[in-house]
Structure 1
């Protein structure tokens, strides 16, 4: 049985206020998941042409996605030199284990609105294959940041973890942050605002519209809509308890 596990390590939770500076003008054709699917198909076709040996490889038995938040090239380089300094080595001679893997690549991390993404829109990109607006998770750019009311299911994007679960595979999420944080919730959630982690957050932002938004917060979605996820390990238990309840 193939196992798909998201392992998410976050050292710092960044503020979820993505609208400074002003976002880009969204390109209409880039809102649709079909646009990104076509782009991905072209990229995969080019990769298979460049590395024909990949076509003859057996399917992987297990897939484990490790994510270190904020691991751009400068950050990885800095960490390499830091470790080398602590070990009394020359930084150019030290490598991280993942830098010794047979294949590596780099990815651009823009979203529909900004050059530098937050954890929410970037999770949407690498887990569902579709770029969305900054601060949103599991939905297309047809919806808007902090949009309240019922969100149409046809505007939901679906993660590779959801696909693996539907295919009968064992799946799991392991994170050092809250299980409802933007990065891990990209595996299962659909919200227009990454901080909709509990119904209290929905009520704070949406006011009276909250009454027409049953089970649209991430904690409720995780419990009621994602029962086929086999393993969930992370923090943030307070989002699953009533206000004032001692844990």
Structure 2
């Protein structure tokens, strides 16, 4: 039975991914940073779909906590880990770079890039002893648009995630592990500092609207499925045409 770890799984895109994967037969480990109640709600939805769920409080930038996450999954008696969705993200530094708090910039980059590397490291260790698996890194349209005046450091970190996806896919293919990415555009979640951001950008989007979390979850589910068995090293843009 597939067992997939989803970081940042308590809300927004992460919560939608957990629900979609549960509907497709995955047991889920919901990694969350602070909102235990929201994580419990997602876990309840997973169980309502007939799958098992575990919630784990997690700072993805702390390797000891990542190790504890994988240990908790094993101790819960679930099947071996077959999937990882690197979804946890941060954009706390907002605005022109000249005005940025560099401590916040460093924290964001730690979450958006270093945390991805740490989680991937331990997923590879787990998957390589259990016949392989699949990693999906959540990138962003900002990786190629740059996000000027908003968070260029976040865009740079996500461009790094895209590079990790390509390089790591080649590194671990021989182990039976696939590595892919999904790059969302502007999605209706609580992630953006401006709540109306999807409406603001809609006129610039060829499809004329912001996206929904479930539309990202569908792409992630496909990459984790057997239908994507020959896909590795690629990042799918789900951006409304941007």
TM-score (normalised: structure 1): 0.30
Greater share of residues in helix: 2
TM-score (normalised: structure 2): 0.31
Larger radius of gyration, structure 1 or 2? 1
Greater RCO between the two (CA within 8 Å, min separation 6)? 1
